[in-house]
């Protein structure tokens, strides 16, 4: 199994602890990781699909995957309701 890169580990660590910071999450992403929020979320979504991420922190990865699935379901349901109108 491939190991996670240093950057991937930083992303997981940030996601585990971002709520501890006083600022808004987007501001902290830019300040700490020097990434745009869009780039961060793309990278995060890619990382949580990696088996190495699941092995590294299964609780965090499962929580993030569940949250992503819920967001997708809500968006698809909303799009469906709009199309029906």
Domain assignment present for residue 27? The answer is: yes
11: Cβ contacts below 8 Å, ≥ 6 apart:
33, 40, 43, 44, 47
Domain assignment present for residue 59? The answer is: yes
Question: Is residue 60 predicted with pLDDT exceeding 80?
Answer: yes
Domain region containing 45: 6-73
CB of 28 within 8 A of CB of 51?
no
More confident residue, 73 or 22: 73
Residue 56 pLDDT class (50, 70, 90 cuts): very high
To the nearest 10°, report the CA torsion of 40, 30, 26, 5: 30
Domain assignment present for residue 82? The answer is: no
Domain count, the chain: 1
Determine the angle formed by the axes of helices 37-47 and 6-17, rounding to 10 degrees: 100
Residue 51 pLDDT class (50, 70, 90 cuts): very high
């Amino acid at each position: 199994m491939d190991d996670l890169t240093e950057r991937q580990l930083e992303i997981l660590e940030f996601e585990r602890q971002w709520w501890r910071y006083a600022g808004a999450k987007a501001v902290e992403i830019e300040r700490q990781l020097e990434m745009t929020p869009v780039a961060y979320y793309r990278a995060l979504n890619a990382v949580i699909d990696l088996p190495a991420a699941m092995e590294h922190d299964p609780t965090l990865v499962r929580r993030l995957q569940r949250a992503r699935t819920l967001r997708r379901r809500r968006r698809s349901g909303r799009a469906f309701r709009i199309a029906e109108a």
